[in-house]
């Protein structure tokens, strides 16, 4: 059965969004095409009508997930009276963010896997890192300090998730928060 262009676009968007969540939750290699398509409510056969291969989907899903992250950061900054770095840190290092890998930071979930995905995914990460650094620095901030903060926050989130729900995870998150 043939689907309209609009339905095909909606289906593609649903696959990309589902892949972004599942990749963040399970890693790029932790989820297969059949499982991914089932989670999106579509058949596996439809995958190859929409994407050249899984690596093409990985690149598109990563780009979309990182754009969602950037939008979240922008919203957090806009809603706060604090400096950009402080506003981001409050949200980023919150317990709810630690426990929501599938909807959380793509850097923390997938950066370690990006080099194995090839230049396209690495390029997408580079661009997103630059955009995040610009958000952290604000109009007249210190780029090196923004790099330090970003590295600390992402590292703390990764380690807290690895430690699980215990005192060490909480200590890691607290240690990464900016000192006022």
pLDDT tens column, 3-54: 788 988 999 999 999 999 999 999 999 999 999 999 999 988 889 888 999 9
- The predicted model scores a pTM of 0.90
- Residue 179: the pLDDT is 81
Comparing 17-26, 46-55, 110-119, 146-155, the range with the smallest average pLDDT is 46-55
* DSSP alpha helix (H) spans, the chain: 5-26, 33-39, 47-50, 54-78, 84-92, 95-98, 106-110, 114-117, 119-137, 143-163, 167-176
The Cα–Cα gap between 89 and 29 comes to 30
Q: Rounded to the nearest 10 degrees, what angle do helices 119-137 and 84-92 cross at?
A: 120
Looking at the chain, how many residues does it have? 180
CA distance 124 to 63: 6
In 3D, which of 74, 93, 103, 81 has the Cα closest to residue 149?
93
Cα 84 to Cα 77: distance, rounded to the nearest angstrom: 5
Per-residue model confidence (pLDDT) at position 64: 97
pLDDT at 111 over 60: yes
**Percent over 70 (pLDDT), the chain:** 98
* CA-based torsion, 60, 63, 66, 67: positive or negative: negative
């Amino acid at each position: 059965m043939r689907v309209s262009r609009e339905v095909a676009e909606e289906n593609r968007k649903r696959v990309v969004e589902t892949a972004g969540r599942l990749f963040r939750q399970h890693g790029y290699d932790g989820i297969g095409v059949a499982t991914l398509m089932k989670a999106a409510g579509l058949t596996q056969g439809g995958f190859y009508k929409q994407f050249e291969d899984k690596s093409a989907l990985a690149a598109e899903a990563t780009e979309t997930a990182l754009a969602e992250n950037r939008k979240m950061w922008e919203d957090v900054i806009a809603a706060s009276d604090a400096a950009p770095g402080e506003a981001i840190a409050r949200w980023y290092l919150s317990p709810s963010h630690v426990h929501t890998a599938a909807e959380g930071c793509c850097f923390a979930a997938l950066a370690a896997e990006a080099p194995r995905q090839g230049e396209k995914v690495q390029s997408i990460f580079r661009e997103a890192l630059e955009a995040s650094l610009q958000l952290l620095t604000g109009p007249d901030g210190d780029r090196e300090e923004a790099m330090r903060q970003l590295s600390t926050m992402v590292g703390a989130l990764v380690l807290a998730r690895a430690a699980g729900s215990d005192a060490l995870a909480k200590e890691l998150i607290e240690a990464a928060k900016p000192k006022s």
